[in-house]
Amino acid sequence: MNCPKCGAELPLEASYCPKCGAPRSEIERLLDDAARAARRAVDAGVAAVDRAAKELEPTFNKAFATVRPALDDVARTVKPVADKTVKAAKEVADKTVAVVKPAVAKAAEKTEHVARRVKERAKKSG
């Protein structure tokens, strides 16, 4: 171990620090003090973290409770937009069908007409 006073390496069983001359009893007292202070600091730190967590918990809960309706609002706001988008897409599809359908029907009618004429001609010549 090292002398807590000057930092010099202490020979095992030395009664005094070879560098600063601090007696072993004083060194041990200093080391005890340091260990106690470290333990106190750790305990205080743990207690502080614990206390902070306990103090922050209602804040987090409150924050979540505050944010929650906002999230619900967002969901409520987004849903009609999503519904509107689906509705708009369906309307476009319906409109496309409405525009295309008569054209397709007309084409079918024309094809039928042509087919009938071809048939009639075939009958006449046949």
Q: How far is CA 98 from CA 89, 93, 94, 102, 106, in A?
A: 14, 8, 6, 7, 13
Q: Is 3 in the site for Zn ion (CB under 5 A)?
A: yes
Closest Cα to residue 7, out of 15, 119, 16, 17? 17
Q: Which stretch binds Zn ion (CB under 5 A): 3-11, 33-41, 42-50, 62-70?
A: 3-11
Q: Which stretch binds Zn ion (CB under 5 A): 7-15, 32-40, 56-64, 94-102?
A: 7-15
Q: Among 20, 48, 75, 99, which residue interacts with Zn ion (rule: CB under 5 A)?
A: 20
Q: Which stretch binds Zn ion (CB under 5 A): 2-10, 57-65, 103-111, 113-121?
A: 2-10
Residue 11 or 58: which CB sits closer to Zn ion?
Answer: 11
- CB-hemisphere CA count at 13 Å for 108? 6
Q: How far is CA 36 from CA 39, 42, 110, 121, in A?
A: 5, 10, 102, 116
Q: Is 4 in the site for Zn ion (CB under 5 A)?
A: no
Residue 14 or 20: which CB sits closer to Zn ion?
Answer: 20
Q: Using the structure block, give the residue that is written with the tokens 């359908």.
A: 101
Q: Is 24 in the site for Zn ion (CB under 5 A)?
A: no
Q: State the residues that interact with Zn ion by CB under 5 A.
A: 3, 5-6, 8, 17, 19-20, 22
